[in-house]
């Protein structure tokens, strides 16, 4: 089964993401946008995992979350990886008690590494993924649709770099199963872990 660990998002955070996505869609870029009901903040992607390993993952997450307080976050800014002028992944940024979020992610990363999951090579960056540019044939353009340009998308992102979304409390970690289908992924929570 394909698994990942995430922070649950409240409706107001999802609504802010939907608002920004609508603005960015007007650029016409060929982006696979994340569905509103599937939006989450990924803490660790585990990938294909044997079913019999799930109990020890749950036990490790229980330990990682135990005694850790919930924390306050707010949506702030819009950008892209690797850069706004070369967008491949479009995201919303987060501010607030981000150090607590990083500490939680580091604790989970360390516990999952002890279970044999390879550590993430990149430093953890607190963000919500809005969409990924589709990889298609390029004929004279610079990404996006075949023959198209990412310039309109880059401009739309630049216009939203100071976007201020709602504040919210992060207080629940979820172990999620992801089933890939032709219509898109289906997420099923396997376990939830409350933060103090």
Query: Which residues does the annotation mark as catalytic?
Result: 40, 127
Cα separation, 194 vs 8, whole angstroms: 10
Helix extents (H) in 115-167: 151-159
Cα separation, 179 vs 157, whole angstroms: 30
183, exposed or middle or buried, with CB in 10 Å at 0-12, 13-18, 19+? Answer: exposed
How many CA atoms lie within 13 Å of 144's alpha carbon, on the beta-carbon side? 18
Tokens of 125: 């960056």
24, exposed or middle or buried, with CB in 10 Å at 0-12, 13-18, 19+? Answer: buried
Cα–chain-centroid distance for residue 14?
Answer: 12
Instruction: Give the phi and the psi of residue 64 in degrees, each rounded to 5.
Output: -65, -35
């Amino acid at each position: 089964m394909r698994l990942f660990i995430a922070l649950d998002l409240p409706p107001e955070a999802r609504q802010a993401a939907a608002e920004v996505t609508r603005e960015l869609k007007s650029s016409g870029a060929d982006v696979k946008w994340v569905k509103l009901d599937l939006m989450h903040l990924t803490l660790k992607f585990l990938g294909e995992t044997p079913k019999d390993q799930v109990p020890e993952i749950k036990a490790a997450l229980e330990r990682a979350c135990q005694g850790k307080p919930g924390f306050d976050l707010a949506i702030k800014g819009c950008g892209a990886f690797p850069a706004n002028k070369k967008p491949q992944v479009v995201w919303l940024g987060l501010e607030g008690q981000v150090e607590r979020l990083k500490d939680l992610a580091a604790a989970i990363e360390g516990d999952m590494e002890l279970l044999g999951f390879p550590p993430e090579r990149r430093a953890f960056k607190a963000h919500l993924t809005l969409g990924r540019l589709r990889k298609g044939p390029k004929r004279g353009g610079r990404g996006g649709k075949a023959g198209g340009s990412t310039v309109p998308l880059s401009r739309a992102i630049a216009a939203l770099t100071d976007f201020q979304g709602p504040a919210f409390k992060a207080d629940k970690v979820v172990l999620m199963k992801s089933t890939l289908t032709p219509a898109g992924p289906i997420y099923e929570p396997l376990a939830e872990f409350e933060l103090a």
